Chains A and B, each alone.
Chain A
Amino acid sequence: MTTMTQTAPLVRVEGVTKRFGSGDKEMVALSGLNLEVREGEFLSLLGPSGCGKSTALNIMGGLLTASEGTVTFSGEPLTEPSRNIGMMFQQAVMFPWRTTLENVLLPVEIFGEKKKDFIPKAEELLEMVGIRDFRDSYPWQLSGGMQQRAALCRVLLHDPKLLLLDEPFGALDEFTRESMNQELLRLQDYATSTAVLVTHNITEAVFMSDRVAVMSARPGRLVDIIEVPFDRPRRPELQTSTEFIKLVAKARQMLELQ
């Protein structure tokens, strides 16, 4: 991934601090976070629960504003959500009154574009994640994993330049989670977008990412960044290789040393 270092960063987070509440109840979630997300890369934010990694992600998505510091996206200051940024949450957030296809088409509907124009693409995406047969089913007729697949299609429908993923598969069981991660890598490659994943799973972070940003416990700050040099596409067998295990151990050590 040496070529990546030459491209300008897609997102630049500079000295971002986030405080919630005030006075005695003040809580510092993030403290002076500096981070760059490069165009086309897959970056993980790895840290213990409550280290402010979700807060950092929400600031990058424009859902929260930083108390101090700046965030730029494509060189422009970012202060509110952008339609070039797609977000995925821990829950699939499927509307139960809409069919799978209608849920996937939601962004287009909100953008005021013609839904009909996007149906072929929506169906292609559903096909890619293997749930095209369920396009007319309602979310409550689908399993949790299938719902997250649909959510993945929804976020990719409008080709966001940046994907922000807040532990999207955290609520799924281990097996489903692993296959969803594969799915995600495949689709990110297909959509040629940049992705930032928030996770507290070390193996997952290393397996998925080009770089892993390790964060400290509250108040969250950046400890170090680990470069993950493995080729893509990555096969699950990679996780048993010595190099992989070494990187995982390195990340674990960083987390424990704090």
Chain B
Amino acid sequence: MTRTEVIAQIAIDSSPKKKRWLKSPYLLTAALLPIILSIWWLATTVTNSVPAILLPTPESVWAAFPRVLGANGFSTQVLTTLTEIAGGFALGATIGFFLGVLLSSSRRLRAAYLPFLSALEAIPTVILAPIIIAWIGFGVEGKILQAAIACFYAVFITTLSGLGLAEPNAVNLMKSLRASKWQTMVKLRIPTALPVIFGGLQLGATTAIIGAIVSEFIGATGGLGYLMLRYRSGFDTAAYWVIIFLFLLIGLVVYLTIWYIERRFVFWRRSEVTRPDLEKQ
């Protein structure tokens, strides 16, 4: 079979079928929304079985959106939180990745520091926050540090385990070519680990968001978490819920962004199938 014939065959295999959109997973996502909304609506507006201070009605939350989004300095608060998340994630993921590379290259370093680093991960953000505030104050820098601490471990541990996933045969191939440790790392181990590392990045991004918000809760001069505290003390539950939805939105955007980058970067994972029809050329 020539190359063009193969491409033609692949094109036939993947030609769009009728009503394919019915199988789209997003249809399921869309179906969930009215269900949740109606349960919420039934519990609050219709039966009035949950007090508004615990769960506001959907209408009141909807109505609170323009009030919260239009409030003076709202965009500054959003920007503050986004900076904390992005900065913390970038810092934490970078440190996590390089620590993973470093520790994977030496059994001795692993034995010496891996238990310690894992134990460090067990310290909750809430406990660290007051200490960091005491050290570097209430500003954005402390929140970035907090988010970085919260997310580095996920990237670190997935990088470390992903780098060990290279097949023995592939490692032997590199050895037989007398590839240096560095060449084996860059040309074999890191690409092999990428799908796992991206899993760590997804996980790390969520923990970075949590880290930033929790530390804003503990003490901050700005940001969405700080805004939530203010709404809560004013018993403005509807506005509080608006910000919860904003966090949901941030989480969704972050997830989709990383997912998109992964698809571009780890393109071979999408099509890692053998084609038995090509067995004979």
Within 22-63 of A, Cβ neighbours of B (below 8 Å) are at 58, 61-63
Minimum C-beta distance from B175 to chain A (A): 6
Contact call A141/B179, Cβ cutoff below 8 A? no
B172 at the interface (CB under 8 A from A): yes
CA distance A93 to B176 in the complex (A): 13
Contact call B279/A145, Cβ cutoff below 8 A? yes
A96 at the interface (CB under 8 A from B): yes
Interface size class of B (residues with CB under 8 A): 20 to 34
Within 48-104 of A, Cβ neighbours of B (below 8 Å) are at 58, 61-63, 80-83, 85-87, 89-91, 93, 95-97
CA distance A229 to B15 in the complex (A): 55
Q: Which residues of A contact B167 (CB under 8 A)?
A: 91, 93
Q: Which residues of A contact B178 (CB under 8 A)?
A: 80-83, 110
Minimum C-beta distance from B13 to chain A (A): 12
B47 at the interface (CB under 8 A from A): no
Q: Which residues of A contact B10 (CB under 8 A)?
A: 141
Q: Please count the residue pairs between chain A and chain B whose beta carbons lie under 8 angstroms apart in the complex.
A: 88
Contact call B176/A141, Cβ cutoff below 8 A? no
Contact call A176/B187, Cβ cutoff below 8 A? no
B183 at the interface (CB under 8 A from A): yes
Residue in B175, B176, B281 whose CB lies within 8 Å of A145 = B281
Contact call B170/A143, Cβ cutoff below 8 A? no
Q: Write out, one digit per residue, whether chain B residues 156-188 have a CB within 8 A of any chain A CB (1) or not (0).
A: 000000000001011011111111000100011
Contact stretch, chosen from A8-16, A126-134, A234-242, A243-251: A126-134
CA distance A106 to B174 in the complex (A): 9
Contact call A106/B187, Cβ cutoff below 8 A? yes
Within 121-142 of A, Cβ neighbours of B (below 8 Å) are at 130-131, 133-134, 137-138, 140-142
B273 at the interface (CB under 8 A from A): yes
Within 251-273 of B, Cβ neighbours of A (below 8 Å) are at 267-268, 271-273
Contact call A140/B3, Cβ cutoff below 8 A? no
Q: Which residues of A contact B274 (CB under 8 A)?
A: 140, 143-144
A175 at the interface (CB under 8 A from B): yes
Contact call B3/A134, Cβ cutoff below 8 A? yes
B49 at the interface (CB under 8 A from A): no
B233 at the interface (CB under 8 A from A): no
Minimum C-beta distance from A108 to chain B (A): 10
A152 at the interface (CB under 8 A from B): no
Residue in A110, A131, A141 whose CB lies within 8 Å of B281 = A131
B219 at the interface (CB under 8 A from A): no
Please give me the residue from chain B that is nearest to A135 by CB atom: B3
Q: Which residues of A contact B54 (CB under 8 A)?
A: none
Please give me the residue from chain B that is nearest to A86 by CB atom: B176
A214 at the interface (CB under 8 A from B): no
Q: Which residues of A contact B175 (CB under 8 A)?
A: 63, 81
Minimum C-beta distance from A20 to chain B (A): 15
Q: Which residues of B contact A141 (CB under 8 A)?
A: 6, 10, 271, 275, 278
Known: A96-B268, A110-B183, A138-B268. A143 touches B174 (CB 8 A): no
Known: A93-B169, A137-B3. A110 touches B278 (CB 8 A): no
Q: Which residues of A contact B272 (CB under 8 A)?
A: 96, 140
B14 at the interface (CB under 8 A from A): no
A111 at the interface (CB under 8 A from B): yes
Contact call B176/A110, Cβ cutoff below 8 A? no
Please give me the residue from chain B that is nearest to A111 by CB atom: B177
Please give me the residue from chain A that is nearest to B3 by CB atom: A133
Q: Which residues of B contact A93 (CB under 8 A)?
A: 167, 169-170, 173
B280 at the interface (CB under 8 A from A): yes
Known: A87-B172, A95-B191, A143-B275. A110 touches B280 (CB 8 A): no
B29 at the interface (CB under 8 A from A): no
CA distance A133 to B2 in the complex (A): 7
Minimum C-beta distance from B271 to chain A (A): 5
CA distance A62 to B178 in the complex (A): 10
A109 at the interface (CB under 8 A from B): yes
CA distance A62 to B176 in the complex (A): 8
A-binding residues in B (CB < 8 A) = 2-3, 6, 10, 167, 169-170, 172-179, 183, 187-188, 191, 267-268, 271-276, 278-281
The contact sample of 28 A-B pairs, CB cut-off 8 A, is A62-B176, A63-B172, A63-B175, A63-B176, A81-B175, A81-B178, A82-B178, A85-B176, A87-B172, A87-B176, A93-B169, A95-B188, A96-B268, A97-B191, A97-B267, A97-B268, A110-B174, A110-B183, A130-B281, A138-B271, A140-B271, A140-B272, A141-B10, A143-B278, A143-B279, A143-B280, A144-B279, A176-B280
Q: 3 tightest CB-CB pairs across the interface, nearest first?
A: A133-B3, A96-B268, A143-B278
